Structure 1
Amino acid sequence: MLNERSLAAHQDCKDCPIRHKAVCARCESDELERLEEIKYYRRFEAGQTVVWSGDRMDFVGSVVSGIATLTQTMEDGRTQMVGLLLPSDFVGRPGRSTAAYDVVATTDLVMCCFRKSPFEDMMGRTPHIAQRLLEMTLDELDAAREWMLVLGRKTAREKIASLISIIARRDASLHMRTSDGPLAFDLPLTREAMADYLGLTLETVSRQISALKKDGVIHLEGKRHVTIPDMDRLMEEAGDDADGGMLV
């Protein structure tokens, strides 16, 4: 979570830690200046709801740090986690007035938000924003299709390996690291959250993580700090090709 001092430092788009991956990635300096005029930052504590499904949304924005979940509630009260929002992911849909899902901060969360109407106006006048948002939307669609495979056909071990690989590759991409050598990162989800997302029991998640650790597929320090010695091997455990995967 960014503290007040570091959050203030990221007020300038040029210094933003997600600049190269966010919706503004292709913007020129004059376009960034226009975005600066309509943006603001919001922070949420872990467990806090960003927006409820069906609520009116007067903003759109990108996750700067932290992680959030997209959740759908059924008529009988059951809920299903349908997606994760990681740094640089976009929240909200231009042209749609209400939220389609509950968005809840899983960890402490910082979002770079844009007032919705001015942002929609900018999209019409700024092809760079519209093009980047289209690319991100298509990436999200590909990820959703692949996730259907994870939930429907993969074994518990493959599901855990798939989720770890998604987070590892996104973290590497955000920090512009290659996957040629070991990758180290802090797992942003608790095992309870992983179980909820994957449709597994907590005991199964813990058992499979321990098995991956025992087999040397991952190294684990504490409960959250993960090192992947060989990304290709992890992808094989996930049931994917080494150069494939669900989310880039």
Structure 2
Amino acid sequence: MLKESAPTAPHECADCPIRHRAVCARCESDELELLDQIKYYRSFEAGQTLIWSGDPMDFVGSVVTGIASLTQTMEDGRTQMVGLLLPSDFVGRPGRDSAAYDVVATTNIVMCCFRKKPFEEMMVRTPHIAQRLLEMTLDELDAAREWMLVLGRKTAREKIASLIAIIARRDAALNMAGMRGPLTVDLPLTREAMADYLGLTLETVSRQVSALKKDGVIGLEGKRRVTIADFNRLLDEAGDDSDGGMLA
């Protein structure tokens, strides 16, 4: 069941932690005022389903805080996690009436939602929104292609390093921080969820995380907090170069 806005949900766009990366990033003040008229916040607890695949969607929106997973269920009941929604990621597709995937809260989550029909009308009248949504869609396509490579061609160690690097990049971009110097990020997934997402066993994930720690590539505080002393070294372990592309 949907819950009312969490106490931490921002009520002014100027206070929003994802303002510079969200679909409204390029909107002028008058455009933000129009969006504010069709905007509302919703919060979900970890483990709660935000959206069921095939259900009608009367809203679109952005993740403000927290993490959600995209999951697809096959005819025989098997499920596969096919993506992660991190802060500033867009949920829903204008022009599509139903959801393509189950969306499940991995952590407690706050969403900034827009009523779907008015948002679609605003896209026609407001180029800033349509242009930004196109950019976000192309970024999502690039990420999906990168993930195909991770799952299809990389070793278990490279998969783990790649996932940590992707999360670290997104965290740095969200906080407008550079990639130099030690980085500390909180992994949004349990070891079990990482295994599911990467197509590995739980034992393999635990073994490879421990190996990266032993080799000094990462530091660990508890199960989730990861410190990266040298991001380029992590990219080497992921099979990437310092620009984020694949090594020749």
Q: Secondary structure at the match of 1:209?
A: helix
Distance 2:168 2:139 in 1: 17
Shift, 1:185, TM fit: 1.6
The equivalent residue for 1:76 is 76
User: How far apart are 1:245 and its partner, in Å?
Assistant: 5.2
Quote how far apart the aligned CAs of 1:6 are: 2.7
Aligned AA (1:157): R
Q: What is the rounded CA distance, in whole Å, between the counterparts of 1:111 and 1:236 in structure 2?
A: 35
Change in 2 beyond 3 A, CA 1:4/1:92: closer
Cα RMSD between the aligned structures?
A: 1.1
Task: Tell me how far 1:4 sits from its aligned partner.
Answer: 4.3
Report the CA distance between 1:5 and its aligned residue: 3.7
User: Which string of whole-angstrom CA distances, capped at 9 and with x for unpartnered residues, describes residues 184-217 of structure 1?
Assistant: 1211111111011001111110100000000010
- Per the TM alignment, residue 178 of structure 1 is displaced from its structure 2 partner at its CA by 0.1
Supply the distance in 1 between the matched residues of 2:159 and 2:42 (Cα, whole angstroms): 32
- CA contact 1:166–1:245 (8 Å) conserved in 2: no
Contact 1:235–1:245 (Cα < 8 Å) also in 2: no
Structure 1 runs not aligned, ≥5 long: none
**SS where residue 95 of structure 1 aligns?**
coil
* 1:244 Cα offset (Å): 1.4
TM-score by length of 2: 0.96
Match of 1:240 in 2: 240
**Equivalences for residues 100-179 of structure 1 within 5 A:** 100-179=100-179
Contact kept, 8 Å, 2:45 with 2:105, in 1: the verdict is yes
How many angstroms apart in 1 are the aligned matches of 2:81 and 2:195? 10
Identity of aligned residues (%): 82
Where structure 2 has 5 or more consecutive residues not aligned to the other structure, the ranges are none
**What whole-Å deviation, never above 9, does each CA across 1:48-97 have from its counterpart, x for those lacking one?**
00011100000000000110011111111111111000000000000000
Q: How many residues were matched structurally?
A: 242
| Matched residue, 2:19 | 19
Separation in 1, partners of 2:201, 2:158: 15
